[in-house]
Amino acid sequence: MTGSAAIIGGGVIGGGWAARFLLNGWDVRVFDPDPEAERKIGEVLDNARRALPGLSDAPLPGEGRLSFHDDVADAVAGADWIQESVPERLEVKHATFAAIQAACGEAAIIGSSTSGFKPSDLQQGAARPGQIVVTHPFNPVYLLPLIELVTTDANRPEMIETARTTLKALGLFPLHVRKEIDAHIADRFLEAVWREALWLVRDGIATTEEIDEAIRMGFGLRWAQMGLFETYRVAGGEAGMRHFMAQFGPCLSSPWTRLMDVPEFTDELVDLITEQSDAQSGAHSIRDLERIRDTNLVGMMRALKQQDWGAGAVLNAHDATLRTGGALAARIDDLERIDRPIPTLARAVPLDWTDYNGHMTESRYLEAFACATDRFMELIGCDSAYISDPEGGSYFTAETHIRHLSEVHAGTRIRIETQLLLGQGRKLHLFHRMSAGDTLLATGEHFLLHVSLATRRPAPPSAAIAAALARLTEAQADLPWPEGAGAAIRRPA
């Protein structure tokens, strides 16, 4: 699902929205009066191109077209989705919505990135109140999946469902806040923690660094994968949540918090926090910190993908959507042509696939080629159903040879095409080519044997697999022997 998105306000959040839409195949039209907007968004996009594609194990759509416009009317003309990310002043937002609605289509969805205003506040005085919803993201918008979708009775159910569907198609998790409230849901938690942190610094109990360590070394990790209530349920042990609440409920009356008592925002407090923060993080530029953050987030979220848990489950669902109707076929019968090397992998190199040199780690070349081999096996019918059948089998790799021909970096969109060199009896001989654009990056040569999973010994494949291999062998018989096939590391003279 792609279309045209207008981004009104190109700051940190607006730039993140632009990246999320653009890298998911949408055309993006930006309006921001800041003369530096194009540079700033370009830098955000550089980081997003490095990080976002690596979350997906399926190929993202081709990148959309990005354009910058001198007025709101030009930016929103023909847009399917309009995302407002202007400063948090209600009069500025009302003026912006008036300019947007004077020029946009009535079917366009107008989402606001506001972190505090209720949608009813935003809809006041609007020409079409039902066109406006809150779609509050979290930074970086191009990586974190949560979007708080806050609506009112003025928003039609069909419009709300379209908004949910659109956000999901972007790989996001729209949390529908059915009853509007100031600051929505997530920011109310953040504000509570922020207020406590200000007191801890002001009273000399902890520095900014010590508070950050308390979060990221402890409950921050728990919250990242299990949230608040489920974390406390586990803390209750076998007796569960009821036991936890009975055990720790009395603490609610203890003077552990000053949530209703906010420290005065004096110049002295601001200076103290600023000095501590500079000492803590000043060695890194903002762009450095963004890249460190992105690398950590991608690593954590990809770990969650392996467990199909939390944000990882959202990513897996998005991958499944990307694969549907994608470029990789399910069977050789679905391929238009089999008389040339077959596409078996298309993806971006994730951040956690790189080493200390910034190159793709050697083991990941093998992983990529192994994924291509698995796809080839599926094409010929050696899929999960065949492997799980009591009478089934699988191909086991007996020998591998990889040639590294060019550097590969994080974010590089690689593709692998596979040529069948031998597919007869128990033997399967494949040659993979890994490329980016017109550049050949690496080759992988793999010799496999079909094995009965009942006896764990070499055995002929099923008749259907043998027939599929025979078709491919005949179709690719005239292909030239690939350069590098059969090569080996020569013994030094």
Tokens of 491: 């013994």
Please state, in angstroms and rounded to a whole number, the distance separating the CA atoms of residues 342 and 473. 12
Place of tokens 């969109």: 413
Residue 42 CA: distances (Å) to CA of 16, 39, 479: 11, 5, 43
Residue 12 annotated as binding?
yes
13 is in an annotated binding site: yes
Alpha-carbon torsion, ordered 234, 235, 236, 242, to 10 deg: -80
To which H or E segment does residue 430 belong?
Answer: strand 427-436
**Rounded CA gap, 38 and 10, in Å?**
8
Q: What is residue 132's three-state secondary structure? A: strand
Pairing of the two strands 109-112 and 132-136: parallel
11 in a labelled binding site? yes
Give the separation between CA 79 and CA 41, rounded to whole angstroms.
19
> Roughly what angle, to the nearest 10 degrees, separates helices 286-306 and 311-323?
80
Alpha-carbon dihedral angle through residues 487, 426, 333, 369, given to the nearest 10 degrees = -40
In this structure, are residues 125 and 94 in contact, taking their beta carbons and an 8 Å threshold? Answer: yes
Q: Determine whether the annotation assigns residue 14 to a binding site.
A: yes
Sheet holding 66-69, edge to edge: 66-69, 27-31, 4-8, 81-84, 109-112, 132-136, 146-150, 173-177
Distance (Å, whole) CA 94 – CA 10:
18
Of 163, 166, 1, 6, residue with least CA distance to 79: 6
DSSP letter, residue 129: G
CA 79 to chain centre: 24
CA atoms within 13 A on the CB side of 299: 11
10 is in an annotated binding site: yes
Alpha carbon 431 to its chain centroid, in Å, reads 31
Other CB atoms within a 10 A radius of the CB of residue 170 amount to 23
- Residue 385, C-beta contacts closer than 8 angstroms, at least 6 positions apart: 392
Binding annotation: 9-14
Binding annotation for NAD(+): 9-14
